[in-house]
């Protein structure tokens, strides 16, 4: 169902379009500074919350306009502080969202039909919304940038709060991993390169369109549906080898030489450069891994596992010597949770194949070799894992979960700083609330500052 993929951001766009097309006379509910909050804006936010099944803590006709008013206070401060929007970041988010719409609706034309506006106009709307979000976040970050709880602060915070308010921490594990990539015969690599050279020749000669070939043959499923188009990306977002080749392209009618990355082998076509961002098309092919290649890799890791268990080498040493997992190799094989930047994982955060192995292991156990899909490159590799530690589910505790308590402490301090700032900001900004919108229990005392 097309309607199910709509997000809050999408609803906001639809509302703006509907207002413009229906020429509805707007009823003002609030005014913050010189910025009105229209009744239709509030109603639209409420409807999208219902659609998204977002719980609203209180009367929605009180909670929603207050949040919109707070946003306007932060945006006013952003103008005073001349917050500079990182346009490359915003544009990347916009292009990602546009690509998401295209994937769900089927084509650029259907996106334009659905939103009843050309893509350039939709990009403008998205750009405005993401820019506002960025400015609000920057103001809040600037207000709280010096918050850094010391161990003493964390202890005081922990001792001051009700233990019933502490979060429940699900079972977590700490693991080590060693991975190796199967050795792929040179003949298979040569065949992949030959196919890519053939595609490049077809495009360069004008025989076929790059986008058509990408749809038919590229193994990057995320971009193949768009004809290989990546959307505008900064150099730091792209794989280094890909970025170097892409930014050196100047002719959008010619195709790059073959580029090898951790993902596989690519050919690239330039679409457009905008400052430090670039939009390209690419075709990705990955050499096939045969059953024999996988079996040989399993045999090799089985031997490594036997040496570790026999005490000839430690898991840490073997991870450093032979593991091809870049993220853990130089960290004694310890896996790092990218969501929390710690060594602890909830089971759901582990790669599926690792989680399946670890679930039946005891601390100190080393799994037998198994085949897994690298979550970043989507390529097959062989791995062994060692369960270092299992922490059963529990209420957060200062000794065991210091970082969780520290984050709670800092979040509390940040909330207080922002609260105090809002109270002061209210005094310097014009506030007006229409009759009929005042009978509320607001978080902040807006009525004291409301002009009659």
The token pair that represents 66 in the structure block: 């207050």
319 with 180: CB under 8 angstroms?
no
Query: Minimum mean pLDDT among 64-73, 96-105, 278-287, 345-354: which range?
Result: 96-105
Tell me if residue 58 falls in helix, strand or coil.
coil
Q: Which fold has domain 2-147+414-449?
A: Triger factor/SurA peptide-binding fold (1.10.4030)
pLDDT in tens, 378-395: 888 999 999 999 999 999
pLDDT in tens, 362-380: 999 999 999 998 887 788 8
Q: What was the pLDDT predicted at 52? A: 65
Higher local confidence (pLDDT), 24 or 152: 152
Please state the pTM of the whole predicted model. Answer: 0.66
Please report the DSSP string for 364-415 in residue order. T-BPPPEEEE-TTT--EEEEEEEEEEEE--EE--TTT-HHHHHHHHHHHHHH
Domain ranges of the chain: 2-147+414-449, 171-392
Of 353, 352, 349, the C-alpha closest to 368 is: 353
The mean per-residue pLDDT over the stretch 58-86 comes to 92
- CATH for 171-392, among 1.10.20.10, 3.40.1710.10, 3.10.50.40, 3.40.50.800? 3.10.50.40
User: Is the sign of the CA dihedral 438, 441, 447, 449 positive or negative?
Assistant: negative
Of 34, 30, 15, 94, the C-alpha closest to 63 is: 30
pLDDT of 31 > 60? The answer is yes
pLDDT of 342 > 90? The answer is no
pLDDT in tens, 137-196: 999 999 999 999 999 999 999 999 998 999 999 999 999 999 999 988 899 999 999 999
């Amino acid at each position: 169902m097309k309607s199910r993929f709509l997000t809050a951001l999408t609803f906001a766009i639809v509302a703006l379009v509907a207002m413009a097309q229906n020429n509805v006379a707007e009823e003002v509910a609030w005014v913050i500074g010189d910025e009105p909050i229209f009744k239709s804006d509030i109603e639209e936010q409420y409807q999208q919350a219902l659609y998204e099944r977002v719980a609203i803590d209180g009367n929605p006709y009180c909670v929603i306009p207050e949040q919109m008013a707070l946003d306007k206070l932060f945006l006013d401060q952003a103008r005073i502080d001349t917050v500079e929007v990182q346009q490359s970041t915003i544009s990347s988010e916009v292009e990602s969202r546009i690509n998401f719409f295209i994937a769900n609706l089927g084509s650029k034309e259907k996106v334009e039909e659905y939103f009843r506006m050309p893509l350039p106009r939709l990009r403008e709307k998205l750009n405005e919304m993401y820019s506002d979000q960025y400015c609000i976040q920057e103001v809040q970050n600037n207000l709280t940038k010096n918050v850094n709880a010391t161990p003493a602060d964390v202890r005081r915070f922990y001792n001051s709060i009700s233990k019933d308010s502490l979060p429940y921490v699900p079972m977590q594990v700490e693991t080590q991993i060693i991975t190796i990539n199967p050795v792929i015969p040179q003949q298979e690599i040569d065949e992949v390169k030959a196919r890519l050279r053939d595609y490049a020749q077809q495009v360069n000669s004008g025989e076929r369109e790059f986008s058509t070939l990408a749809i038919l043959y590229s193994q990057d499923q995320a971009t193949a549906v768009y004809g290989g188009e990546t959307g505008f990306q900064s150099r730091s977002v792209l794989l280094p080898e890909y970025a170097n080749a892409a930014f050196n392209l100047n002719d959008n009618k010619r195709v790059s030489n073959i580029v090898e990355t951790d993902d596989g082998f690519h050919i690239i076509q330039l679409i457009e450069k905008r400052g430090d961002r670039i939009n390209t098309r690419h075709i990705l092919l990955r050499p096939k891994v045969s059953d024999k290649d996988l079996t040989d890799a399993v045999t090799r890791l089985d031997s490594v596992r036997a040496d570790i268990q026999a005490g000839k080498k430690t898991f840490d040493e073997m991870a450093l010597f032979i593991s091809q997992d870049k993220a853990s190799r130089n960290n004694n094989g310890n896996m790092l949770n990218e969501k929390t930047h710690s060594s602890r994982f909830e089971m759901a955060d582990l790669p599926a194949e690792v989680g399946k192995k670890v679930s039946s292991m005891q601390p100190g156990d080393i799994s037998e070799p198994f085949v897994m899909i690298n979550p970043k490159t989507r390529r097959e590799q062989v791995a062994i894992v060692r369960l270092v530690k299992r922490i059963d589910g529990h209420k957060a505790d200062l000794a065991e979960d210091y970082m969780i308590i520290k984050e709670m402490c800092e979040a509390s301090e940040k909330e207080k700083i922002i609260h105090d700032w809002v109270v002061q900001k209210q005094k310097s900004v014009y506030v007006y609330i229409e009759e009929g919108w005042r009978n509320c229990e607001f978080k902040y005392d807006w009525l004291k500052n409301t002009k009659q």
